[in-house]
């Protein structure tokens, strides 16, 4: 953000239009500002837990808000999908920022007729990823943000395995002087496993089989979150039908990355309020005013 501020200044933005306030305890800075009534709009990107706290604070002044919160993205692979494309999409959707992204694929539902082949191909690709420090040559997977994040990932994997999941690759912490966790693929993940309902926020891809469209739609929508869903199929009618059925603000059809600065970005349910990006994102910061004029 400091670098962005310097770029805006260089571009000619007047002093005081954008102010960047680095802080260690953001809540101690923001709550007084929110409750003062000086702010007109709050835009927040972060966890659903913190977003709810901010919404409570904003309610006092009826402050307009935009919230880009957590996710629990389903990634669906139908039997007619191109498996090589689906594997590449799963890697993109799962492994950006080591899985620490709100748009990361969190639950992978694969048709029972192709789950074995898909799992084998995905595990091969994940196992080939090199884990280490960013200064090391060939590294593609870095550490998680802190020890607590790595511990949570380890707990979720252990819970899934205890409930019957099979580890196809990974499934353990990595040494290396950082908070490393091996890229992991699990299959046979129970709906009762914690990672079926909690955001993993790490390099773990849990696979679950499905037999019918209705079965996986019900499972995919069984979450308080609704940011993004990914659907892989070569049947256009099915793609549109499933895209409409997904309770999410965004759907990636045969693509593992949906972010686009020209498109509206955001979710439904506990994944957020409002949209970022495109003209819709600008409208989030504008107020409509109606002026009625009596001409007689």
**Residue range 96-113, pLDDT digits in tens:** 999 999 999 999 999 999
Which residues are marked as active site? Answer: 68, 102
DSSP for the chain, please give it.
Answer: -HHHHHHHHHTTPPTTSS-----S-HHHHHHHHHHHT--SEEEEES-HHHHHHHHHHHHTTT-EEEEE----EEEEE-TTS-HHHHHHHHHHHHHGGGG-STTSEEEEEEETTTHHHHHHHHHHHHHTSPBS-TTSTT--B---SSHHHHHHHHHHHHHHHHTT-EEEE--SEE-SSS-EE--EEEES--TTSGGGTS---SSEEEEEEE-SHHHHHHHHH-SSEESEEEEE-S-HHHHHHHHHHS-SSEEEES-S----TTS-B--EETTEES-BSHHHHHHTT-----------
Residue 48, pLDDT > 80, answer yes
Residue range(s) in the chain whose domain bears CATH number 3.40.309.10: 73-253
pTM (predicted TM-score):
0.93
pLDDT of residue 134: 86
- CATH superfamily assigned to domain 73-253: Aldehyde Dehydrogenase; Chain A, domain 2 (3.40.309.10)
pLDDT of residue 136: 87
Q: By percentage, how much of the chain surpasses pLDDT 90?
A: 95
Q: CA–CA distance from 147 to each of 100, 107, 143, 144, 178 (Å)?
A: 14, 23, 10, 8, 9
pLDDT of residue 68: 96
pLDDT tens for 63-92 read: 999 999 999 999 999 999 999 999 999 999
Q: Assess contact for 159 and 198: CB atoms under 8 A.
A: no
The stretch 7-14 carries a mean pLDDT of: 96
Average pLDDT score, the chain: 95
Residue 135, pLDDT > 90, answer no
Cα–Cα dist 120/243, whole Å: 27
Cα–Cα dist 94/129, whole Å: 13
């Amino acid at each position: 953000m400091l670098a962005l501020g310097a770029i805006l200044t260089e571009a000619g933005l007047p002093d005081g239009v954008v102010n960047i306030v680095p802080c260690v305890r953001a809540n101690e800075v923001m709550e007084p500002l929110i409750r003062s009534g000086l702010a007109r709009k709050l835009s927040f990107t972060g966890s659903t837990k913190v977003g709810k706290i901010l919404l409570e604070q904003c309610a006092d002044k009826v402050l307009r808000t935009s919230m880009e919160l957590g996710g629990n993205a389903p990634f669906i692979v139908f039997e007619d999908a191109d498996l090589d494309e689906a594997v590449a999409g799963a890697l993109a959707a799962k492994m950006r920022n080591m899985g620490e992204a709100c748009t990361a694929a969190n639950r992978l539902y694969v048709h029972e007729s192709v789950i074995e082949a898909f799992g084998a191909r995905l595990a091969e690709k994940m196992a080939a990823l090199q884990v280490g420090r960013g200064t090391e040559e060939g590294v593609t997977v870095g550490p998680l943000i802190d020890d607590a994040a790595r511990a949570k990932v380890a707990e979720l994997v252990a819970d899934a395995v205890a409930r019957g999941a099979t580890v196809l690759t990974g499934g353990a912490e990595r040494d290396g002087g950082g908070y490393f966790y091996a890229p992991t693929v699990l299959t046979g993940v129970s709906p009762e496993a914690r990672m079926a309902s909690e955001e993993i926020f790490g390099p773990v891809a849990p696979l679950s089989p499905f037999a019918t469209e209705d079965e996986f739609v019900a499972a995919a929508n069984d979450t308080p979150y609704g940011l993004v869903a990914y659907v892989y199929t070569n049947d256009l009618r099915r793609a549109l039908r499933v895209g409409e059925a997904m309770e999410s603000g965004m759907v990636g059809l045969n693509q593992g990355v949906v972010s686009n600065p020209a498109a509206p970005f955001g979710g439904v349910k506990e994944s957020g309020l409002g949209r970022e990006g495109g003209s819709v994102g600008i409208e989030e910061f504008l107020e409509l005013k109606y002026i009625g004029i009596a001409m007689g």
